[in-house]
Amino acid sequence: MDDSGGSGVKQIQYELTGAQSVDMQTVPGSAASVTLSAEGMTTLNYFGTDKAGNAEQSKALTVQIDKTPPVVSGLPASGCTLWPPNNQMVQVATIAAADALSGLAPGSFQLTGSSNEPSDPNNPDVVITSNGSGGYVVQLRAARLGSGTGRVYTMNVTAMDLGGNTVTSTATCTVPRDHSTAVAH
């Protein structure tokens, strides 16, 4: 913006550095538009020059773009099996979520566990506790009903970053009906 009674804005100059780079550009007139699309942190440095040749102090604006969902780690591997069915609690996972660009949205990292067989509410078969570092420890009971094909535990994880990107992951662990299909965890 030019001062009242000034000579008027001749041009705006800008450059981009960081995730999206553009060498110094000159745009005639008093307005310029810049589109940022690269993921990561980009700094826009800009200044205007009036028709008398006076340049204002350069200004900087930093923008961070996050298009990548968070990463979930520590889920049990495919084929997770609890054997023998001795009614003991077994730690099967320490699950964490992280986001390298914008960070996790507060309260968005959620983990639930369920089973296809009933559980005693006073003696739960799925125990999920905080690991003290923002993640969760999952313990499952190595138990199943005497009938049926075996027990299947399902863990569902969701997390969202500050950019609104969401990840959902699922893992299962089984307590098989017989030992021939079991691989000890």
> What's the pLDDT tens digit per position in 23-66?
999 999 999 999 999 999 999 999 999 999 999 999 999 999 99
**35 found inside a domain:** yes
Which CATH number characterizes residue 79's domain? 2.60.40
93 and 59 within one domain: no
- Quick check: pTM over 0.85? no
In this predicted structure, what is the pLDDT of residue 178? 84
**What tokens appear for 9 in the block?**
């804005």
**59 found inside a domain:** yes
Number of domains in the chain: 2
95-147 pLDDT, tens digit per residue, is 999 999 999 999 999 999 999 999 988 999 999 999 999 999 999 999 999 88
* Domain edge (last residue) among 47, 65, 83: 65
Answer with the residue of higher pLDDT: 72 or 180: 72
**1 found inside a domain:** no
**2 found inside a domain:** no
Domain with 165 in it: 71-181
78 and 51 within one domain: no
Contacts by residues 164-170 (CB-CB < 8 Å, ≥ 24 positions apart): 165/66, 165/67, 165/68, 165/69, 165/70, 165/99, 166/69, 166/70, 167/69, 167/70, 167/71, 167/72, 167/97, 169/72, 169/75
